Amino acid sequence: MSPFVTPETRSEIPATKPGAAATVTGRKRKSLPLSGRIGLVMVLFWVAVALVGPLIAPHAPGAVVSNKVFGPMSLRFPMGTDYLGRDMLSRVIFGAQYTVGLALAAAVMASASGTVLGLLATISGRWVEEILSRLLDALICVPSTIFALVMVAAFGSSLPFLLLTAALSYVAGAFRIARSLAVNLSVQEYVQAARVRGEGRLHIACVEMLPNMIHPMLADFGLRFMFIVLMLSGLSFLGLGVQPPAADLGSLIRENLSGLDNGAPAVLLPAIAVATLTIGVNLLIDSLPQRGDDA
Amino acid sequence: MSSHQVRVSNLRVVTSDAADRAAVLVKDVSFTIPRGEVLALIGESGSGKTTVALALLGHTRAGCRIAGGSIEVAGTDVLALGSRQILDHRRRRVAYIAQSAAAAFNPARRIMDQVTETTVVGRLMTRNAAREKAVELFRSLALPDPHRIGERYPHQVSGGQLQRLLAAMALMSDPELVIFDEPTTALDVTTQVEVLREFKRLIQERGTTALYVSHDLAVVAQLADRVVVLNSGEVRESGPTMRVLGTPTDSYTRSLVAAATGREAVCALRREVAIAASVGVSGRGDLSEPLEPLLSVDGLTAGYGKVDAEGFPSAIALRDVSLVVKRGGALGVIGESGSGKSTLARALAGIVAPAFGTLRLEGQLLEARMERRPRKQLRRIQIVFQHADAALNPAHTVAHILSRPLKLYFGMHGTERNERIARLLDLVHLDRSMAARRPPELSGGQKQRVNLARALAAEPALILCDEVTSALDAAVGAAILELMAELRRELGLSYVFISHDVSAIRAICDEVTVLYAGQVVDSGPLRRLDDPAAHPYTRLLVSCVPEMRSGWLEDAPATLGQLGTARLDASR
């Protein structure tokens, strides 16, 4: 999986009919298909690792605990040791915290502001809509990784800036999705009925439209989270993301790259960690719309 | 070979959920169709009639399966066929004509390629032979320019022509059985007559064995030799068409026939709550005294798209329409699809801004756009839409939906508002417990009642009804009409009742305006519909409403022939 895939190609999948999505809440939830359950388990596992992992990690992330570099898996070091002889298990646990935490925060920012802007564009007059759309169209033209590189080159690589860069790269896509959902909803007869009734724009946006776009937006949020994980890992792999001594999963791969020749677990395991996290989210998201469809 | 072309016995179709929760869609349905006869399957929506029809193709919709019984078409046991044989069965022996021809054709391919596809792919004929056969079928279905119509794309022919082309596609392989699934339901009445006539002629000429699925008894009466009445997946009654429709023995069939012949009768049968004043459905007849105008529309022109230098929009939907709604009166607006009747409702509500013309409500000038109208004026005109489910926000409870106008217009809160909601539900004959439900949990009729209640919550003077009964089954629609007539009597409401259904207009309106291609071609009191001096288009509309007597279809063409030219005059 490459971090250069744009989310727009994928995000069409979860957009369900607004009515179909809403019926799910009205009745008892159907059970997830098997792939969805596997995805859910994988996602929950990584969230749990990020939340409680640091409490149970055997060593501090920076502590050099072994004099053997690129050590194999053993009872004492279940994931081996890295290029300085640090415990890989502890490194991965703390790395996961960075990756999951940063990506989650950035995805929340991107999806939330995208939804708000999308609704704003739909209910406001033509000019606001035109300006917002063109501005975000311009943003969407810039490849997200190039954009991130420029941001890091210009402002350095601090955590808040990484967060902002990731959120900014993906807000345009979320805006597009939210706007197309909102435009579809705005011609629904119940929205027209609200307009004829004389309801304010804010009421129409928040009460009539928002509840009916939450489900597809949540699915979109999951996709965006996945792409941000990949982008941040990619940046860190290039050495532009999370800076040492802290490390996310991407930087773990980079710093242990020299162990690739002898197949050290130190380079393979963080890569597997990124893969399971993103595949898990992907499986979960893909199985979500089916629940709405067969309603 | 047996004399029966089709033999279905004890057919049972269930949903294939977990076994313990499986719902039975079709229960032990049995019937036979002798060679060369037409059997009609009659039922309301959800009666399982399409499920039975699809089962004859050896097909069930996703999530369903055939749990028992046997289906025999031309001596073949359909349920015993393997997956390759079933394809062959569908290619050669059974043809299916769907309700919506527009949805059945691929818009991106030429008609001829689609009509001949099955026979060519199935190697039943060479491409050239198939084309010749298709042209011959086009000719026998009275399609214009049979040699070249196949070169067009689906959007380049009319809805009625497309439905006939679909029939041609079905008949390509000379099937043993043709299934018509509500083939004229989506058509205008005038088009429906033409299509029905061609279908009937074709069936008679070719001696086709057919299963005709419909909810419309009058249509069935023209085509079918025998009928089977279905209700919730069970056969209620079956027999020769005229016997079943003329002297129904089953109570459900009686209610269907009553709904088709007179709306009053069905209401008496169907209503759970008896209303003291259920004498006449509408208050028509005694409204001879002059009533003051409530809404007057003068020279209304409206449309869509860019506005040119003179102020005309690029696509004009309404041209110079004038009408008056009297206080307490009900004005029926009738027209076929594309006549601009929905645009009229939208222009009156202010959703579409008219290019020219004035609207006056109670003598006061109405702003063209709803954004400019004061809330007080918005409150006085309420609109009820056709699609009850699209007009109710699926995310909200009924109580929330009804509470908005109360809060917005009257600032009601707390117990006062809850009491009012309960009273509104009483008014539309819904149980008070419905307040906690959400629209997806309601039936079509219940949703339309909630829609009415929401309009009533504003305490309006005028309600715009845009095809409010068109999406409902006849009996449910009749109950809604009866409710509307009752509300009008009790609350002194006025209606603008927009419909393509002449009988619905007759049931509730006391004045009528006929729209054709965006223009008013006729208007007057309701009896204008039966006035021999009415505009030819009005007479055409009325004469095209199918009647249950047999032989109506044969009578209709004579009038159509005369009126065909008059209709063209009205449009140009």
Residues on chain B touching A189 (C-beta within 8 angstroms): 385, 387, 390-391
pLDDT of residue B17: 63
Cα first-last separation, chain A: 33
CATH number for the domain that contains residue B425: 3.40.50.300
pLDDT of residue A290: 44
State the Cα–Cα distance between residues B397 and B392, nearest whole angstrom: 9
pLDDT of residue B207: 85
**Contact across the interface for B378 and A211, Cβ inside 8 Å:** no
Based on the structure, what is the number of domains in chain B?
1
Query: Between B308 and B17, whose confidence is greater?
Result: B308
Express the helix, strand and coil content of chain B in percent, nearest 5 each. 45, 25, 35
Choose the weakest-confidence range: A75-84, A97-106, A163-172: A75-84
CB contact at 8 A, A79 and A265: yes
**Quick check: B165 pLDDT over 70?**
yes
**Quick check: A115 pLDDT over 90?**
yes
Pick the CATH number of A7-24+37-62+79-293 from 3.30.450.20, 3.40.50.10070, 3.50.50.60, 1.10.3720.10: 1.10.3720.10
Neighbours of B110 (CB within 10 A): 14
Residue pLDDT, tens place only, A259-272? 888 778 888 888 89
Query: What's the average model confidence in pLDDT over A84-106?
Result: 88
Mean pLDDT over the full length of chain A: 81
**Quick check: A112 pLDDT over 90?**
yes
DSSP states of A189-207: HHHHHHHHHT--HHHIIII
In angstroms, the separation between the Cα of residue B448 and the nearest Cα of chain A is 13
Express the helix, strand and coil content of chain A in percent, nearest 5 each. 75, 0, 25
Mean pLDDT over the full length of chain B: 82
- Picking from B372, B379, B393 by the largest number of A CB atoms within 10 A of its own CB, the best residue to mutate is B393
Query: What's the average model confidence in pLDDT over B523-537?
Result: 83
| Structure tokens, B321 | 């329409």
In angstroms, the separation between the Cα of residue A83 and the nearest Cα of chain B is 55
**Contact across the interface for B393 and A212, Cβ inside 8 Å:** yes
State the Cα–Cα distance between residues B465 and B290, nearest whole angstrom: 24
Q: If you ran DSSP here, which 8-state letter would residue A86 be given? A: B
Q: What is the β-pairing status of strands B64-73 and B76-77?
A: antiparallel
Q: At what angle do helices B552-571 and B536-543 cross, to 10 degrees?
A: 150
pLDDT of residue B88: 84
pLDDT of residue A119: 92
Query: What's the average model confidence in pLDDT over B425-449?
Result: 88
Instruction: Compute the radius of gyration of chain B from its Cα atoms.
Output: 25
Cis check: omega of the bond before B146, within 30 degrees of 0? no
pLDDT of residue A7: 41
Choose the weakest-confidence range: B162-171, B263-272, B358-367: B263-272
**Quick check: A168 pLDDT over 80?**
yes
* Nearest chain A residue (CA) to B407: A199
Q: Is A210 left (phi over 0), alpha (psi -120 to 50) or beta?
A: alpha
Residues spanned by the domain of B426 = 324-354+367-534
**Quick check: A199 pLDDT over 50?**
yes
Q: If you ran DSSP here, which 8-state letter would residue B217 be given? A: H
A85-107 as b/e, with b when 16 or more CB fall inside 10 Å?
A: bbbbbbbbbbbbbbbbbbbbbbb
**Contact across the interface for B389 and A192, Cβ inside 8 Å:** no
Residue pLDDT, tens place only, A220-266? 898 898 889 888 888 888 888 888 778 888 888 888 888 888 778 88
CB contact at 8 A, A255 and A83: yes
* The length of chain B, given as a count of residues: 572
State the Cα–Cα distance between residues A11 and A26, nearest whole angstrom: 25
CB contact at 8 A, A240 and A152: yes
| Structure tokens, A157 | 């690589």
Query: What's the average model confidence in pLDDT over A80-108?
Result: 88
pLDDT of residue B122: 79
State the Cα–Cα distance between residues A20 and A212, nearest whole angstrom: 9
Using alpha carbons, list the distances in angstroms from residue A281 to A10, A13, A269, B216: 13, 14, 18, 50
Would you place residue A145 in the very low, low, confident or very high pLDDT band (cuts 50, 70, 90)?
Answer: confident
**Quick check: A41 pLDDT over 70?**
yes
DSSP states of B107-160: TTS-HHHHHHHHHHHTTSS-HHHHHHHHHHHHHHTT-SSTTTGGGS-GGGS-HH
Would you place residue B570 in the very low, low, confident or very high pLDDT band (cuts 50, 70, 90)?
Answer: very low
Return all residues near B568 (Cβ < 8 A) that are at least 6 apart. none
Residue B410 lies in a domain: yes
Residue B398 lies in a domain: yes
Query: What's the average model confidence in pLDDT over B231-250?
Result: 87
| % of chain A beyond a pLDDT of 90 | 12
Q: From A229, A227, A117, select the one nearest A177 (Cα to Cα).
A: A117
Q: From B188, B244, B187, select the one nearest B39 (Cα to Cα).
A: B244
Residues on chain A touching B372 (C-beta within 8 angstroms): none
Q: Does B370 touch chain A (CB under 8 A)?
A: yes
State the Cα–Cα distance between residues B562 and B564, nearest whole angstrom: 6
Query: What's the average model confidence in pLDDT over B426-448?
Result: 87
| Structure tokens, B366 | 């109405």
Question: A107 has which bridge partners?
Answer: none
pLDDT of residue B3: 67
**Contact across the interface for B349 and A198, Cβ inside 8 Å:** no
Q: From A72, A254, A195, A41, select the one nearest B383 (Cα to Cα).
A: A195
CB contact at 8 A, A81 and A69: yes
pLDDT of residue B262: 59
Considering only the beta carbons, identify the residue of B383, B390, B405 that sits closest to A188: B390
| Structure tokens, B264 | 């009053």
Q: What is the β-pairing status of strands B94-97 and B177-181?
A: parallel
**Quick check: B435 pLDDT over 70?**
yes
Which residue in the block uniquely carries the two structure tokens 């008059």? B566
Question: B464 has which bridge partners?
Answer: B383, B496
Using a 10 angstrom Cβ sphere, with 0-12 exposed, 13-18 middle and 19 or more buried, the burial of residue B422 is: middle
Query: What's the average model confidence in pLDDT over B229-254?
Result: 87
Which residue in the block uniquely carries the two structure tokens 């001879």? B288
Would you place residue B72 in the very low, low, confident or very high pLDDT band (cuts 50, 70, 90)?
Answer: confident
Which strand (E) or helix (H) includes residue B4? strand B4-15
Question: B360 has which bridge partners?
Answer: B296, B365
Which strand (E) or helix (H) includes residue B486? helix B474-491
* The length of chain A, given as a count of residues: 295
Query: What's the average model confidence in pLDDT over B359-368?
Result: 85
CB contact at 8 A, B68 and B243: no
**Quick check: A6 pLDDT over 70?**
no
State the Cα–Cα distance between residues A142 and A31, nearest whole angstrom: 40
A22-55 as b/e, with b when 16 or more CB fall inside 10 Å?
A: bbbeeeeeeebeeebebbbebbeebbebbeebee
Residue pLDDT, tens place only, B243-295? 888 888 888 888 888 777 754 443 333 333 333 333 333 444 444 445 678 88
A255-292 as b/e, with b when 16 or more CB fall inside 10 Å?
A: bbeebeeeebbbbbbbbebbeebbbbbbbbbbbbbebb
Query: What's the average model confidence in pLDDT over B7-22?
Result: 75
Write phi, then psi, for A259 (nearest 5 degrees): -85, 0
* Contacts across the A-B interface (CB distance below 8 Å): 65
Question: B409 has which bridge partners?
Answer: none
State the Cα–Cα distance between residues B362 and B215, nearest whole angstrom: 42
Query: Between A30 and B107, whose confidence is greater?
Result: B107
Query: What's the average model confidence in pLDDT over B152-165?
Result: 85
Considering only the beta carbons, identify the residue of B392, B405, B440 that sits closest to A197: B405
pLDDT of residue B339: 84
Spell out the SS3 assignment of A44-74.
Answer: HHHHHHHHHHHHHCCCCCCCECCCCCCCCCC
**Contact across the interface for A19 and B394, Cβ inside 8 Å:** yes
**Contact across the interface for B351 and A211, Cβ inside 8 Å:** no
**Quick check: A26 pLDDT over 90?**
no
Query: Between A45 and B2, whose confidence is greater?
Result: A45
Show me where the domains of chain A are located: 7-24+37-62+79-293
pLDDT of residue A175: 92
Written as one letter, the residue type at B423 is R
**Quick check: B228 pLDDT over 60?**
yes
Which residue in the block uniquely carries the two structure tokens 């997806």? B440
Using a 10 angstrom Cβ sphere, with 0-12 exposed, 13-18 middle and 19 or more buried, the burial of residue B452 is: buried
| Structure tokens, A131 | 């300006």
| Structure tokens, A238 | 């290039």
Return all residues near B520 (Cβ < 8 A) that are at least 6 apart. B321, B322, B323, B513, B514
pLDDT of residue B22: 65
